[in-house]
């Protein structure tokens, strides 16, 4: 009796297990049929254009600090502000020249007086012209008149120099731009007193409004830099600007082992001195394991890609990114070559989701 029951029970259990497995298979097949179609790409070596990226600060190609050249005078007017584009010789600020104008009037009057004295001395010297050795006047008297005329002319010349001195100081009461450019700094207000020692510059002007990127590059890459090579510069707001290598420094910092490369940029209002930017040197090409930039997801836990497993389920795998170029990003650490990943990490997927993979065209 027992021997007859056991096979029957076993058969029932096996039948139940088979039915359950078949049900699970149907559920899995149904889940795959209902899954979203998602484009996937493969992690593989690719040629990355612009494979060298460096960062640095934006700074004027050439700038000048403007200080007052005379001290002790009050500022009566400031004519430009930061961000103003100026022309060569354009007034920037004016000092109170009331006292200097009074001094100038006085010196001009004295100069006229000295000129009259010189003319009188010339007339007296002319009267004794040709009377030498004739005995009409003593030679000493003749020489005195000639020396008096020469002295009068010297005094007139000295007074003319005094007038020129005051005129020069009067001209310096107006600070002017040395060239066409952009005012990038202003540190003066009406009412300030002019001083030249230990003071900040009143203005700083970028010549021709040119701002360039000073990027720090590893010494092993400096020899590959060529003046005139194209560079793609990315500003802090993500805007991209085309530039060119202007100068490659012949010196490497002894501490950081980095050399400076200066990149000429177009004149644009969003390229500001003191800002930060990164540069991708387009002349460089290198092969590296990479994925499209869109495949990398960034969240509170860092960068990651969504890996598609053999069962078409996605899992989150952390990665470390490297160089970028041509729409691809290097994976310094992450899944190995041949791994399938979701092409667009922004897709609404969570780990464990089942997808229907579609190849990228």
Lowest-confidence pick of 33-42, 167-176, 227-236, 248-257: 33-42
pLDDT of 2 reads 45
Q: 32 pLDDT band (50/70/90 cuts)?
A: low
Q: Are 162 and 110 in contact (CB under 8 A)?
A: yes
pLDDT of 149 reads 80
Lowest-confidence pick of 26-35, 190-199, 317-326: 26-35
Task: Give the separation between CA 243 and CA 280, rounded to whole angstroms.
Answer: 10
pLDDT of 261 reads 94
Asked whether the whole model's pTM tops 0.75, one would answer no
Q: What is the mean pLDDT of the chain?
A: 84
The predicted-structure confidence for 253-300, as pLDDT tens digits, reads as follows 888 888 999 999 999 989 999 999 999 887 677 778 999 999 999 888
Instruction: Determine if residue 195 is left, alpha or beta; phi over 0 gives left, psi from -120 to 50 gives alpha, anything else beta.
Output: beta
Dig out the tokens for 3 from the structure: 């021997």
Q: 63-94+174-206 is classed in which CATH architecture?
A: Beta Barrel (2.40)
The predicted-structure confidence for 84-113, as pLDDT tens digits, reads as follows 999 999 999 999 998 888 998 899 999 898
Mean pLDDT across 70-76 = 92
Q: Are 285 and 47 in contact (CB under 8 A)?
A: yes
The DSSP bridge pattern shows strands 302-308 and 314-318 to be: antiparallel
308 or 14, higher pLDDT: 308
133 or 307, higher pLDDT: 307
pLDDT of 226 reads 87
Q: Please state which CATH number belongs to domain 34-51+287-359.
A: 2.40.420.20
pLDDT of 27 reads 47
Q: What are the angstrom distances between the C-alpha of 31 and each of 267, 340, 357, 359?
A: 57, 20, 14, 20
The residue extents of the domains of the chain are 34-51+287-359, 52-60+209-285, 63-94+174-206, 98-171
pLDDT of 50 reads 61
Mean pLDDT across 184-211 = 88
pLDDT over 90, % of the chain: 50
What number of CA atoms fall less than 13 Å from residue 86's CA on the CB side? 27
Lowest-confidence pick of 39-48, 145-154, 243-252: 145-154
Query: Nearest 5 degrees, angle CA 89-CA 94-CA 97?
Result: 120
Q: 44 pLDDT band (50/70/90 cuts)?
A: very high
Q: Is residue 45 over pLDDT 60?
A: yes
Q: Is residue 202 over pLDDT 90?
A: yes
Q: Which CATH class is domain 52-60+209-285?
A: mainly beta
Q: 143 pLDDT band (50/70/90 cuts)?
A: low
Mean pLDDT across 1-25 = 54
Q: 39 pLDDT band (50/70/90 cuts)?
A: very high
Q: Is residue 360 over pLDDT 80?
A: no
The predicted-structure confidence for 324-349, as pLDDT tens digits, reads as follows 777 888 898 999 999 999 999 866 88
Residue 214 makes CB contacts below 8 A (sequence gap 6+) with 56, 57, 58, 59, 260, 261, 262, 263
Q: Are 343 and 39 in contact (CB under 8 A)?
A: yes
């Amino acid at each position: 009796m027992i021997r007859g029951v056991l096979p029957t029970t076993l058969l029932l259990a096996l039948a139940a297990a088979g039915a359950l497995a078949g049900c699970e298979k149907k559920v899995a097949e149904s889940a795959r049929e209902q899954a979203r179609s998602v484009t996937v790409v493969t992690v593989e070596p690719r040629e990355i254009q612009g494979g060298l990226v460096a960062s640095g600060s934006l700074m004027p190609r050439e700038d000048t600090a403007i200080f007052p050249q005379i001290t002790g005078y009050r500022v009566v007017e400031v004519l430009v502000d930061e961000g103003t584009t100026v022309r060569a010789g354009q007034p920037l600020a004016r000092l109170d020249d009331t006292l200097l104008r009074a001094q100038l009037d006085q010196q001009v009057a004295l100069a006229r007086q000295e000129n009259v004295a010189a003319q009188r001395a010339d007339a007296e010297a002319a009267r004794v012209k040709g009377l030498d050795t004739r005995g009409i006047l003593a030679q000493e008297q003749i020489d005195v008149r000639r020396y008096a005329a020469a002295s009068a002319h010297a005094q007139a010349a000295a007074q003319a120099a005094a007038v020129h001195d005051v005129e020069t100081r009067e001209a310096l009461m107006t600070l002017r731009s040395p060239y066409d450019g952009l005012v990038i700094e202003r540190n003066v207000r009406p009412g300030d007193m002019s001083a030249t020692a230990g003071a900040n510059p009143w203005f700083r002007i970028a010549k021709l409004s040119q701002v360039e990127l000073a990027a720090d590059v590893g010494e092993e890459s400096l020899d590959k830099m060529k003046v005139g090579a194209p560079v793609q510069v990315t500003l802090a707001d993500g805007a991209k600007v085309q530039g060119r290598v202007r100068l490659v420094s012949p010196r490497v910092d002894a501490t950081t082992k980095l050399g400076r490369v200066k990149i000429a940029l177009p004149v644009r209002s969003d390229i500001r001195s003191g800002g930060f930017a990164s540069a991708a040197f387009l002349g460089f090409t290198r092969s590296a394991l990479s994925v499209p930039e869109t495949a990398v997801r960034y969240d509170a836990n860092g960068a990651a890609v969504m890996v598609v497993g053999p069962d078409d389920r996605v899992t989150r795998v952390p990665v470390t990114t490297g160089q970028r170029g041509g729409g691809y990003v290097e994976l310094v650490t992450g899944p190995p070559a041949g791994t399938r990943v979701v092409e667009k990490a922004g897709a609404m997927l969570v780990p464990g989701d089942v997808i229907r993979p579609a190849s990228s065209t």
